[in-house]
């Protein structure tokens, strides 16, 4: 939900490519993110019963499916471009810098002799930027709810693909997949004993790696979940094309090393990274250009503007959503504007920060009700209840992303159909 970048709208002039499953678009014009939402603008559906993943891309939303990707206009829900494969299951992602859609799949439906294809598409037009055989490139993947999201596929810049493998980090040239540089885990983490690379964020000018170091006494049971065990929880920045180390920071956050292992790096805005420690519900804000780290405590950055100068911060203890500048000065407060934090009329489906408030999602929507509730927006200027007209007995709501022109919400209904709704 947090990848925010400069926004464009794609004019809908589709032209066919040599591949029957590939369509591109020609022109790009500007389209803004929504500052607030109050109603359903459009809906797009597919008979595919698998859970869909949604990502912001120029002009709208990229919808990742098992057979490829479809990109929809955030304004109308109209299809802008797509890339589909005829056989095999696709894993995919959008690059951390937001400029590429990256897909990988096994040829010949996974037969041993088929190999693996990697294709990198311009996220705005759908044009192929690079493609090569990636059969011999290994990567460490996080296990999650969405197996077709390839975590390693987010590490693409205009020149390189940086992946975490069993030995550390490796940067591959996009022209041919050859190794450009590598950094072994031991060298990266500078550990005397046990070291690990926990997560990556890859931007145009810097690769940020989270690492953990601790000492495992010989002959003893593993101490990675032992309270009081000393460890280093660090971040290091590298030049994407040369592998040169640009900056390094170390601290100790959490009760034991496993707290550090569980960190997740999420790109928020242009040039900001949120570091989340799920075990301890602790977060940090990192400026990857300098390595400067701001401790957020239990607070969370849910929104940022295009240059990262303005933040939407959820304050956990007061349950207040505040728009702040980078110095922490409060520009708007939900509690101060409304007198108290509004109690949402839906729950369970998570929440999403926008410039002018917070969107709460229902976990599921029951069909047949007089006013089936999908979401509730609590804004600085007032609140809105968002209803849907669904006939299905029960619809499971999955995820929401702020995309150019809309908030895109993915779902699967009781009949096994999946889709995306655009809110405005």
pLDDT digits (tens, 9 = 90+) for 280-302: 678 999 999 999 999 998 999 99
Spatial distance between the Cα atoms of 382 and 376, rounded to a whole number of angstroms: 11
Q: Output the pLDDT for position 28.
A: 64
Query: Domain 177-298, what fold?
Result: Thrombin, subunit H (2.40.10)
Q: Is 297 left (phi over 0), alpha (psi -120 to 50) or beta?
A: left
| Residues forming beta bridges with residue 407, ordered by sequence position | 402, 423
Q: Output the pLDDT for position 1.
A: 39
Asked if residue 388 lies in contact with residue 365, where contact means CB atoms within 8 angstroms, the answer is yes
Contacts of 269 (CB under 8 A, 6+ apart): 4, 5, 304, 305, 306, 307, 308
Model confidence at 314: pLDDT above 90: yes
* pLDDT category of residue 366 using cuts at 50, 70 and 90: confident
Q: Is 415 left (phi over 0), alpha (psi -120 to 50) or beta?
A: alpha
DSSP three-state, residue 277: strand
Q: Count the alpha carbons within 13 Å of 89 in the hemisphere toward its beta carbon.
A: 8
* pLDDT category of residue 163 using cuts at 50, 70 and 90: very high
DSSP H or E stretch at residue 312: strand 310-315
* pLDDT category of residue 3 using cuts at 50, 70 and 90: very low
What tokens appear for 354 in the block? Answer: 């926008």
The beta strands (E) that lie in 203-270 are given as: 207-214, 231-238, 245-251, 264-267
Asked if residue 312 lies in contact with residue 301, where contact means CB atoms within 8 angstroms, the answer is yes
Spatial distance between the Cα atoms of 349 and 363, rounded to a whole number of angstroms: 4
> CA-based angle 359:40:411, to the nearest 5?
75
Q: CA 249: distance to chain centroid?
A: 24
Dump pLDDT digits (tens) for 49-68. 788 999 999 999 999 998 99
* pLDDT category of residue 109 using cuts at 50, 70 and 90: low
Model confidence at 256: pLDDT above 90: no
Model confidence at 20: pLDDT above 70: no
Spatial distance between the Cα atoms of 301 and 315, rounded to a whole number of angstroms: 9
DSSP three-state, residue 44: strand
10 Å Cβ neighbour count for 299? 19
Spatial distance between the Cα atoms of 107 and 113, rounded to a whole number of angstroms: 8
DSSP three-state, residue 398: strand
* pLDDT category of residue 14 using cuts at 50, 70 and 90: very low
The order of strands in the sheet holding 406-413 is 40-46, 418-423, 406-413, 394-403, 364-366
Query: What pTM, to 2 d.p., does this model score?
Result: 0.89
Q: Output the pLDDT for position 8.
A: 32
Asked if residue 4 lies in contact with residue 56, where contact means CB atoms within 8 angstroms, the answer is yes
**Where do the structural domains in the chain lie, given as residue ranges?**
177-298
Q: Output the pLDDT for position 392.
A: 67
DSSP assignment of 159-179, as one string? Answer: SEEEEEETTEEEEEETTT--E
């Amino acid at each position: 939900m947090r990848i925010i970048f400069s926004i464009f709208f794609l004019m809908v002039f589709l032209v066919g490519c040599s591949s029957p499953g590939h369509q591109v678009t020609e022109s790009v014009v500007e389209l803004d993110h929504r500052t607030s939402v109050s109603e359903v603008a459009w809906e797009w559906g597919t008979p595919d019963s698998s859970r869909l993943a949604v990502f912001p891309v120029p002009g709208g939303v990229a919808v990742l499916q098992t057979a490829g990707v479809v990109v929809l206009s955030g304004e109308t829900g109209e299809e802008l471009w797509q890339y589909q494969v005829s056989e095999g299951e696709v894993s995919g992602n959008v690059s951390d810098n937001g400029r590429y859609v990256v897909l990988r799949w096994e040829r010949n439906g996974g037969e041993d002799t088929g190999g693996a294809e990697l294709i990198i598409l311009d996220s705005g037009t759908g044009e192929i930027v690079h493609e090569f055989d990636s059969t011999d490139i290994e990567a460490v993947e996080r296990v999650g709810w969405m197996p077709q999201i390839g975590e390693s596929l987010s590490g693409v810049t205009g020149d390189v693909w940086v992946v975490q493998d069993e030995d550390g980090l490796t940067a591959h040239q996009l022209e041919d997949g050859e190794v450009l540089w590598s950094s072994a885990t031991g060298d990266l983490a500078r550990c005397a004993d046990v070291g690990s690379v926990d997560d990556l964020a890859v931007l145009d000018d810097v690769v940020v790696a989270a690492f953990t170091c601790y000492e495992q006494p010989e002959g003893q049971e593993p101490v990675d979940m032992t309270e009081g065990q000393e460890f280093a929880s660090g971040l290091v920045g590298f030049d994407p094309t040369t592998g040169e180390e640009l900056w390094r920071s170390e601290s100790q956050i959490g009760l034991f090393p496993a707290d550090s292992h569980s960190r997740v790096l999420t790109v928020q805005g242009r040039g900001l990274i949120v570091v989340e420690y799920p075990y301890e519900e602790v977060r940090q804000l990192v400026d990857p250009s300098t390595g400067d780290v701001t401790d957020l405590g239990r607070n969370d950055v849910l929104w940022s503007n295009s240059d990262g100068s303005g933040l939407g911060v959820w304050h956990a203890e007061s349950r207040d959503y505040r728009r702040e500048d980078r110095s922490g000065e409060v520009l708007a407060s939900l509690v101060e504007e409304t007198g108290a934090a509004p109690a949402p009329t839906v729950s369970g489906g998570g929440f999403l920060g926008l410039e002018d408030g917070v969107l709460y999602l229902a976990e599921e929507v029951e069909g047949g009700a007089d006013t089936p509730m999908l979401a509730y927006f609590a804004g600085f200027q007032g609140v809105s209840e968002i209803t849907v007209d669904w006939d299905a007995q029960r619809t499971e709501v999955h995820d929401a992303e702020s995309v150019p022109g809309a908030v895109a919400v993915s779902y699967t209904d009781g009949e096994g159909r999946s889709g995306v709704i655009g809110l405005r």
